[in-house]
Amino acid sequence: MFAWLEKHFNGPQTLGESRFFWASFLAGCLFLLCLPLFADEYEVGNYTYFLLHAFLALGLSLIWGQGNILSFGQMVFFGIGGYSYGVFSVNLLKITQNTFFSLAMAILFASCCAGLLGYFLFYGGVSGVYVTIITMVSTMILETFMAQTAGPQWTVGLMPLGGYNGMTNIPPLQLNLGGEFPYEFRDARLYYLVAALAIAAYLGLRKLANSRYGNALVAVGSNPLRSEMLGYDIRMIQFAAFTIAGALAAASGGLYAAWGNYINPSVMGLTTAAMPVVWVAFGGRRCLLGCVVSALSLQYFSQCLSADGSQYALVIQGGVLMLMIMFIPEGVTPPLGRLLGRLASGIFRSGAGRRLPIERLENNGA
Amino acid sequence: MHNPLLQLEGVTKRFGGVTAVENITLNVFIRELRCVIGPNGAGKSTLFRLITGMYPPTGGEIFYNGYNITSLSTFERARHGISMKFQTPMVYYDRTVGQNVLISLQRHYDLEKAGKMAVNFMKNFGLAGMAGRLAGEVAHGYRQWLEICMAVATNPELLLLDEPTAGMSAEETARTAELIHRLNDLGMTILVIDHDMEFVRLLNCDLTVLHLGKFFAQGKLSEIQAHAGVRDIYLGKR
C-alpha cells in the first residue's frame, strides 16, 4: 500500500512524502470514514459542509502554491457552480432522472467561465497583483449582478434566480434507480460521497503537480521569462491551471447548493472570497493536504467562534492571516510536518523522500 | 559553414527617444562561434533580446533558417531552436539544481528519460554532486554553468550566451571557454557577448563590435585587436 502510494503520488512538487506522512494520511482517511459513526445528523451535515470546501482550497493551492498566481475570485466559480447546478438540476431532473449529470454540467459551465476569464487574463499578458485585483473585482461584479435578479423575468427555464433572497428548492444529489423514490444523497450518504471525492481530488492533484505539466507550472510560477526561453508556452500553462482551479471551485459550489438546497449571492461577497485565501495561506500554499486540513479546521474553528457572534470570528481569522504572513509566510503545515517527521523518523522507515531520483543518486555518489 | 542560420536585416530598436540598436545587419552561419563585443550601452544585450523575441524590433527583420521570425513570440523561437543564457543568471532559485535541469529536459523527453539524461548533463557541466542543492544557494560560477546547462538541455541550434563568465575566477573562465568550444565542435552555433578580453582571446573566434547601438567593426580577433577605431572606443589605447 505504502509502496503504491509512494510510487504514484510522490514527486518533487508536493510536500509530505515519507512513510510517516502516508501513514498519517491513511489514518486521516480512516478518521473521516468513522466520523459519522460518532456524530449526530446535525454534526454530519456540518462536517459535509466543511469537507465540500476542500475542492476550493485544493484549486487555490494549485494555482497559488504551484503556479504563483493569487486568485481572489475563486468564489465566482463557486457561485457559478452552485447557481448553475440549481438551474440544470431543476430543468433536467425529469429528463435525466438524476442530478449528477447536472452537477457535471455545472462544473463544465463554470470551467468554461473560468477558461474565458483565464484566456483574457493570461493571453492578455496580465500578471502578478493585477490578476488578484481583476479576480477580486469579478467576484464583486457577479455578487452585485446576482443580487438584482429578484424579478420573475430572471427565471431560467423552471428556476428563478431569486435575487438577494437566493435560489431556493435546489434538489439534492439523487439517482433514480427505478424505485418509487429516488436514491437521495443526504446526511451520511452525502458525507461519504463528498469525502471520497475530496480524497480522489487530492490524490489526482498530487499526481498532476508531479507530472511534466506540474513541473512546468512550478517553473512558470518561479521564473516566467526563463520558462519561456526554455520553450514553455506560459500563457497556456497558466490558463490551464486557472481553469482547473475554477472547475474545482465549481465542484465545491455545486455540492454546496446540493447540500443546502439553497444558494445566495453573498457566497460571492468579499468576505467569503477572502476565506479560501486565508485557509490556503494558513495551511501553506505549497502543501495541498495542508490547505485541505487548514480549510476544515479553520471552518470548524470559525463555527465555534460564531456561536459568540460572527464578526468576532472574522476579526480573529483576519488577525490569523496577518500573523501568518508576518511570521510563518510558508504556512503552518510545512514546518509542522518537518517537526512531526523528525519526531517520527525513528518509528517509520523513511520513504522515497521528496527528492528526484537524480538528486538522490548524485548525493549518494558525492 | 556557408548557410546563414540567423540573419538580421536592418534591425532597429528604440525606447522612446533612445535608440538602443540602430540598423544592424548581421549574418551568423551554421556552426559558427562568434563573439559580440562593445562598451557598455553598445546595445549587445538588447540585440540578444531582439533575437529571442523579448523585444519587438522597431524596424528591420530577423530570419532564422531562412524563415522570417520577426513576429514570433519568445517560446516559439525557443521551440525553433534558439536558446539563451541571460546576463544575470536566470535559473529557478527556489528549486534544486537537479529540478532546474530536469525542467529544461522534460519539454523534449518523458520524466524518466529526462531524469537519466539530467545526471549526464550535470556531470558534463561541472555540476556533479549538486543535484539536491537549491539553485539559489550554489556559488555564482556554478549558477552560470547551471544556466548554460539548462540552455543547452533544450538541444538548441543557436545558443546565445550573454556574459557567461561574469563573476568567474580565471580558472572557471578557462573551463567555460573550453566548454563553449566543445559545444561548438558538437555542431552548435554560438553567439557570445562578453566584456572580458581575456575570455574573448580564449574563444579565439570572429568578433563583431557594436558601438552606441551601431555596427562598428567585424573580423578575426587579431584584426579587431589591430583596428585603431576599436582600440579607441573599447580596448583602450595601448
CATH number at A146 reads 1.10.3470
A144–B contact, CB cutoff 8 A? no
Type of residue found at B40: N
A363–B contact, CB cutoff 8 A? yes
Burial label, A27 (beta-carbon count in 10 A; 0-12, 13-18, 19+): exposed
**Helices first, then strands: H and E counts in chain B:** 9, 10
On chain A, the residues whose CB falls within 8 A of the CB of B84 are 229
Q: What per-residue confidence (pLDDT) applies to B45?
A: 92
Whether residue A183 is contained in a domain is answered as: yes
Report residue A94's pLDDT band, with 50, 70 and 90 as the boundaries: confident
Say if strands A173-175 and A183-185 run parallel, antiparallel, or are unpaired.
Answer: antiparallel
* pLDDT over 80 (residue A310): no
* pLDDT over 70 (residue A309): no
Residue A125, min C-alpha distance to chain B (Å): 13
A179–B contact, CB cutoff 8 A? no
Distance CA B86, CA B45 (A): 9
Report residue A11's pLDDT band, with 50, 70 and 90 as the boundaries: confident
On chain B, the residues whose CB falls within 8 A of the CB of A233 are 75
Q: Which of A17, A20, A103 is nearest to A55 (CA)?
A: A103
Q: What per-residue confidence (pLDDT) applies to A228?
A: 95
Range of the domain at A361: 11-365
pLDDT tens per residue, range B169-225: 899 999 999 999 999 999 999 999 987 888 999 999 999 999 888 899 899 988 888
Whether residue A3 is contained in a domain is answered as: no
Residue to substitute from B50, B111, B133, B155, interface A, most A β-carbons within 10 A: B111
pLDDT tens per residue, range A175-184: 887 777 888 8
On chain B, the residues whose CB falls within 8 A of the CB of A65 are none
Contact A356 B98 (CB under 8 A): yes
Whether residue A313 is contained in a domain is answered as: yes
Average pLDDT over residues B142-151: 93
Average pLDDT over residues A345-357: 51
Distance CA A46, CA A42 (A): 6
Secondary structure class of B28 (helix, strand, coil):
strand
Whether residue A315 is contained in a domain is answered as: yes
Distance CA A134, CA A111 (A): 17
pLDDT tens per residue, range B68-123: 999 999 999 999 999 999 998 999 999 999 999 999 999 989 988 998 899 999 99
Residues in A 204-233 with any Cβ partner in B closer than 8 A:
211-212, 215-216, 218-219, 222-223, 225-233
User: Mean pLDDT lowest for which of A7-21, A86-100, B120-134, B143-157?
Assistant: A7-21
Q: What per-residue confidence (pLDDT) applies to B6?
A: 95
Contact B103 A216 (CB under 8 A): yes
Average pLDDT over residues A316-323: 83
Q: What per-residue confidence (pLDDT) applies to A75?
A: 96
pLDDT tens per residue, range B202-211: 999 999 999 8
Whether residue A150 is contained in a domain is answered as: yes
* pLDDT over 90 (residue A173): yes
Q: Considering only alpha carbons, which residue of chain B is nearest residue A362?
A: B129
Type of residue found at A105: M
Residues in A 11-50 with any Cβ partner in B closer than 8 A:
12
Q: What are the beta bridge partners of residue A190? A: none
Q: What per-residue confidence (pLDDT) applies to A323?
A: 87
Q: Nearest by CB to A230, which of B93, B107, B131?
A: B107
pLDDT tens per residue, range A200-221: 999 999 999 999 999 999 999 9
**Average model confidence (pLDDT) for chain B?**
90
CA distances from A247 to A47, A62, A103, B110 (A): 22, 12, 11, 27
On chain B, the residues whose CB falls within 8 A of the CB of A219 are 92, 95, 103
Contact B103 A230 (CB under 8 A): yes
If one counts every other C-beta atom within 10 angstroms of the C-beta of residue A289, the result is 25
* pLDDT over 60 (residue A356): no
* pLDDT over 50 (residue A130): yes
Whether residue A197 is contained in a domain is answered as: yes
Own/partner long-range contacts of B108-115 (Cβ < 8 Å, ≥24 apart): B108/B154, B108/B155, B110/A212, B111/A211, B111/A212, B111/A215, B115/A356, B115/A357, B115/A358
Rg over alpha carbons for chain A, rounded to the nearest Å, is: 21
Average pLDDT over residues A230-247: 96
Number of domains in chain A: 1
Report residue A258's pLDDT band, with 50, 70 and 90 as the boundaries: very high
If one counts every other C-beta atom within 10 angstroms of the C-beta of residue A346, the result is 6
Whether residue A2 is contained in a domain is answered as: no
Whether residue A86 is contained in a domain is answered as: yes
Higher model confidence: residue A26 or residue A361?
A26
Distance CA B119, CA B114 (A): 9
- The ipTM value here is 0.92
